[in-house]
Structure 1
Amino acid sequence: MARGELMKKLLASYGRDDEFRAVAEQIIGEEEKKNNRVLARSLRKTLEAGPSRPSGPKALAPLLPFPEAAADFIERIEPQHTHNDIVLGATNVRVLLGLVKEFRRADEIRRHGLKVRSKLLFCGPPGCGKTLCAEIFAAELGLPLFLVKLDRLISSYLGETAGNVRKIFEFARKQPCVLFFDEFDALARSRDDSSEHNELRRVVNSLLLFIDHIQPKGFLIAATNLDQSLDPAVWRRFDEVVWFDKPDRAMIARFLRLKFKNIATAFDPLQHAAALEGYSYAEIERVCTQAVKTMIIDRRKQVQARDFNRALEDEARRRAGQSRLASPS
């Protein structure tokens, strides 16, 4: 590529760390091809010495003070993880990266008369990364993450819940953020469910209207373990549905490699990947953590295979107990 075009790309990518670095690497590569090794080394040294990418989220706009009306129902969550702490399938990585790129080009997309995807539904069994993904997604976007406290939102007083939902959506309309509804099925349960009170059916009606009309300055993310319980009309209100499944053997191996990255072991944890098939990430993490704890308690410097096997046996016992509780008597 001509040098002038590369310089234009470099300037255009300023402020977007990944793109800026990619173009800078391209320029350095061009200089190396031309045998300008001194210049290439100098450029690379300058690039590597530059400020590192911040690990925490950087808000795109000053945080608005909590409106008193919504303060009881929202909690700000400070991200503790990065994209290096999660294992996702290739499809989910592609979808989420596409959403990040779309958000960063939002103004250009809107100038073409197109809508930006901003309402996401995360579905899948518990312990498979939905909440962690929402946290990392917010951090990657540089947006604050707010968790909706459903226990307080759903009022015991008839008629108040829909009003509480309105306050939440009003906050999201003004504040650039990721607004996260966990256990969304508690709020958006099917109106055909005969066990539900008429008041909760009215809440679902209001919720559908709010989701329809809001254009958040960031993202609205709803997560559910019980997608079959959602009202059928909920699905088309979301711009994107992301499915989180239990990990396959390859993803389990990647997760084990991540969990034992800085831990000395006297065995190869990856050999246990097959035994962990059918387990959620949360369950596998519990096994890994318990194995490491055993090493610490016994004052050893390496995790032994027996530590891992015992932790796995404990998790299997726990699962068996949960299965008994879930099965009809």
Structure 2
Amino acid sequence: MARGELMKKLLASYGRDDEFRAVAEQIILEEEQKNNRVLARSLRQTLDHASSSASQRKTLAPLIPFPDAANDFVERIAPEHTKSDIVLSKTNVRIFTGLMQEFRRADDIRRHGLPVRSKLLFCGPPGCGKTLCTEIFAGELGLPLFVVKIDRLISSYLGETAGNVRKIFEFARKQPCVLFLDEFDALARSRDDTSEHNELRRVVNSLLIFIDRIKPKGFLIAATNLDQALDPAVWRRFDEVIWFEKPDREMIDRFLTMKFKNVKISFDLHPHARELEGYSYAEIERICVQAIKTAVIERRKDVGEQDFRHAMADEIRRRSGTSRLQQSAQEH
């Protein structure tokens, strides 16, 4: 069979494991017949590894086309990070491990008349891993990740917003996936807030009903940096609330080690963990990246302590400016 036809057949068999493997075997056989032994062996090892991984997780249903009318405010994201790219607290590791186990044994749990946790609320300051964790969580479960663009979802024609929300919730009900609503406070703001438009309050009413009724085949995850702004009735609609705090010294130490694992350094990182307490992961990552870039620019093989300290000084300057802006905004 022509290579192009085989590739089309391979893509068309997505989600049907037996058929997918059969087509992949045909491609490998062709490479063997062409005497491309190295490529054929590599393809077979990849296929065997993928099959082994797939047997450890729930088989996905084929992707359902997203409603055309909703394409403007939902985007599918391909996970690029793995669990080795994140540092979580022991509590959160335990929670996520439990959630994954529940998902994989969902049928057994439901047969016992018990609910499966599938609606999660992530809370915590910016830069502390909420979005990254969502991506890794979806990747670990083998679920497609759909990110809702809240700014577009809240239509300029406010009367359409509740309808837009209904469309994405209906999709999540049918499609096994992780549906991620970042900046959730923009959609679920307290109805007691007198500055909010009456139409937005009606959107919150609709949202509460949708969250109550939905039973996702995967997970609904909402994230907010402003948990105090959420409507009080939102909290009990979620099966689990997970807090992402700024890292403590031990977590910072692990994060620094992770960031420099493939980089040669000429100083001891560990004492700097104490100096970085109170910083978010995003801020610490900026320091690490800037220190490494300095060494690259100067064509040095290792990162020195001065590189790291200069990068820290830049972050302190940035933080100071951000604090002044925030204070000015609050005063006005």
Structure 1 gaps of 5+ residues are 1-14, 16-49
Q: Distance in 2 between the 1:158 and 1:123 partners?
A: 26
Letter in 2 for 1:169: F
Asked if 2 retains the 8 angstrom alpha-carbon contact of 1:124 and 1:224, the reply is yes
1:51 aligned partner: 49
Q: Displacement, 1:58?
A: 9.0
Q: Which residue of 2 aligns with 1:278?
A: 278
Alpha-carbon displacement from aligned partner over 1:19-51 (angstroms, at most 9, x marks no partner): xxxxxxxxxxxxxxxxxxxxxxxxxxxxxxx73
User: Are residues 1:122 and 2:122 paired?
Assistant: yes
Report the alpha carbon displacement of residue 64 of structure 1 after superposing the two structures with TM. Answer: 1.0
Q: Deviations over 1:84-105 (max 9, x none)?
A: 0000000000001000000000
Asked if the contact 2:100–2:141 (Cα under 8 Å) also holds between the matched residues in 1, the reply is: yes
> 3-state SS of the aligned residue for 2:102?
helix
CA RMSD of aligned residues (A): 1.7
Aligned twin of 1:146:
146
- Structure 1 counterpart of 2:49, which letter? P
Aligned 8 A contact 1:118 1:215 in 2: yes
**Residues 55-70 of structure 1: pairs in structure 2 closer than 5 A:** 60-70=60-70
The equivalent of 1:43 in structure 2 is: none
C-alpha contact (below 8 Å) 1:59/1:143 kept by paired residues: no
| SS in structure 2 at match of 1:327 | helix
Check the 8 A contact 1:288/1:308 in 2, yes or no.
Answer: yes
Q: Which residue number in structure 2 is paired with residue 157 of structure 1? A: 157
Quote the Cα distance in structure 1 between the aligned partners of 2:160 and 2:212.
21
Q: Displacement of 1:69 after TM fit?
A: 2.6
| Higher mean C-alpha deviation, range 142-151 or range 62-71 | 62-71
Output the CA distance in 2 between the equivalents of 1:160 and 1:68: 15
Q: Measure the CA separation in 2 of the matches of 1:158 and 1:229.
A: 20
Moved segments of 4+, more than 2 Å: 50-55
Q: Which residue of 1 aligns with 2:325?
A: 325
Aligned-partner Cα distance in 1 for 2:118–2:65: 23
Instruction: Tell me which residue corresponds to 2:37.
Output: none
Letter in 2 for 1:128: C
Give identity over the alignment, percent.
74
Structure-2 residue corresponding to 1:220? 220
Query: Which residue is 1:298 aligned to?
Result: 298
* Cα deviations by residue, 1:231-271 (Å, 9 ceiling, x for unpaired): 00000000000000000000000000000001000101222
Hey, what's the Cα distance between the residues in 2 that align with 1:278 and 1:305? 21
State the partner residue of 2:240: 240
Structure 2: which 5+ runs fail to align?
1-16, 18-47
| Letter of the structure 1 residue corresponding to residue 160 of structure 2 | E
Structure 1 counterpart of 2:184: 184
Q: Deviations over 1:167-222 (max 9, x none)?
A: 11011011100000000000000000000000000000000000000000000000
Give the total of aligned pairs: 280
Q: Say whether the 8 Å CA contact 1:73–1:153 is kept in structure 2.
A: yes
- 3-state DSSP class of the match of 1:125? coil
Q: Tell me the distance in 1 between the aligned counterparts of 2:117 and 2:323.
A: 38
More helix by share: 2
- Displacement, 1:158? 2.6
Change (3 A) 1:66 1:184: same
Q: Is the contact between residue 145 and residue 180 of structure 2 (CA under 8 Å) also seen in structure 1?
A: yes
Q: Does 1:135 align with 2:126?
A: no
Q: Distance between the aligned counterparts of 1:84 and 1:58, measured in 2?
A: 22
Cα separation, 2, equivalents of 1:158 and 1:181: 18
Between the aligned partners of 1:75 and 1:118, the Cα distance in structure 2 is 20
Which residue matches 2:315?
Answer: 315
Partner of 1:256: 256
Query: 1:157 & 1:81 partners in 2: Cα distance?
Result: 37
Q: Where does residue 91 of structure 2 map in the other structure?
A: 91
**How far apart in 2 are the matches of 1:158 and 1:309?**
49
**Aligned equivalents of 1:120, 1:162: Cα separation in 2:** 21
Contact kept in structure 1, 2:58 and 2:104, CA below 8 Å: no
Is the CA contact 2:118–2:216 (under 8 Å) kept in the aligned structure 1? yes
What amino acid is aligned across from residue 90 of structure 2 in structure 1?
A
- 1:96 aligned partner, one-letter code: F
The answer to whether the 8 A contact 2:79-2:135 is kept is yes
User: Given residue 76 of structure 2, which amino acid in structure 1 is its aligned partner?
Assistant: R
Task: Tell me, in whole angstroms, the C-alpha distance in 2 between the residues paired with 1:173 and 1:268.
Answer: 50
Q: Say yes or no: does 1:175 pair with 2:212.
A: no
Q: What's the counterpart of residue 108 of structure 1?
A: 108
Query: What TM-score do you get using the length of structure 2 for normalisation?
Result: 0.82
Q: Is the 8 A contact 1:73 1:168 kept in 2?
A: no
What TM-score comes out, normalization by structure 1 length?
0.83
Contact 1:58 1:139 in 2 (8 A): no
Letter in 1 for 2:217: K
What's the CA shift for 1:224? 0.2
